[in-house]
Amino acid sequence: MNKLTEFEKYVIEQKGTERPFSGEYVDHNAQGIYCCKKCEAPLYKSEHKFNAHCGWPAFDDEIAGAVDRTMDADGRRVEITCHQCGGHLGHVFEGERLTDKNIRHCVNSVSMVFKPVNELIQVATSTTEKATFGAGCFWCVEAIFAQLNGVLSVQSGYCGGDARDANYDAVCSGKTAHAEVVHITFDPNIISYETLLTVLFESHDPTTLNQQGNDKGPQYRSVIFAHNSQQVDAANAFIEYLTAQQIWPNPIVTQISAFDTFYAAESYHDDYFAKHGEQPYCQLVVKPKFNKVMAKFAEIRKR
């Protein structure tokens, strides 16, 4: 997650609105992709943009699955938010007949960051992949994977449940279907998925059902959310290998599920161990595990 300014927080996290005609992208017409300012998820293509003369950037289409819609509490307008992180974008209007698609996404410039075509071409030449793991409290798991060379980003969040329950209080109740997870972007040319699995199983106990240490509940379950069939095969093969090695006296209970949707955790969870390492839980639980795993994988740790 990108660090936001106070005004960006006001608009993106508190659902504020920038003044009309004040935004950077009102009259912007370069070729490229408009992405979420908070999480950089692609939202709109430049060919979707048109001049609605309304004072804010306007788009008559979106990248498939990128934008969520929610009716405002007063029932008068429909809010649009980033599907990946939930950041506020603006509102969507239909029936104005401004374009053939008859729809207008009215978006705050401050909610977006633009990626020009030349930058997208550079990104396209470098392969990245995703991995999503649950292994107990995400504060610890995020801290570990963020240190690995080849890991480009790690985001704490929730997976395996519905959007309406994707918040910390609901998940911690143990009554939702979510697991606390880390959502990892990595470069497979530097670090393999199998290496990530090795670190995963070294950093938690995969034999305790819905529990890691004193943290108990289904949200703490051991789970791998596979993004493709290759990851399913790799995870199954890895678990079969570990089982044959009889590393643990009890059977491995790690779930392997198809990845569906990741819901980013609240911003105060970001880099939690790095920011709050002196707190008792971090000192007693996170730090010993972090130090143990870092010592084990010192050769692949970022310099």
What's the distance, CA 84 to chain centroid? 6
Among the listed residues 36, 39, 85, 137, the single catalytic one is 137
Tokens of 182: 């880390």
Among 66, 65, 33, 29, which Cα is nearest to 50's? 29
- Say whether 45 sits in a helix, a strand or coil: strand
Contacts 24+ apart (CB under 8 A), 58-63: 58/98, 58/104, 58/105, 58/106, 58/107, 59/34, 59/104, 59/105, 59/107, 60/98, 60/99, 60/100, 60/101, 60/102, 60/103, 60/104, 60/105, 61/101, 61/103, 62/105, 63/33
Report CA dihedral (14, 18, 23, 25) to the nearest 10 degrees.
Answer: 50
Query: Do 220 and 212 form a contact (C-beta atoms < 8 A)?
Result: yes
Q: Is 39 considered catalytic here?
A: no
Helices 193-202 and 138-145: crossing angle, nearest 10°? 140
How much of the chain is in helix, strand and coil states, percent to nearest 5? 30, 25, 40
Query: Do 261 and 163 form a contact (C-beta atoms < 8 A)?
Result: yes
Show which residues are catalytic. 137
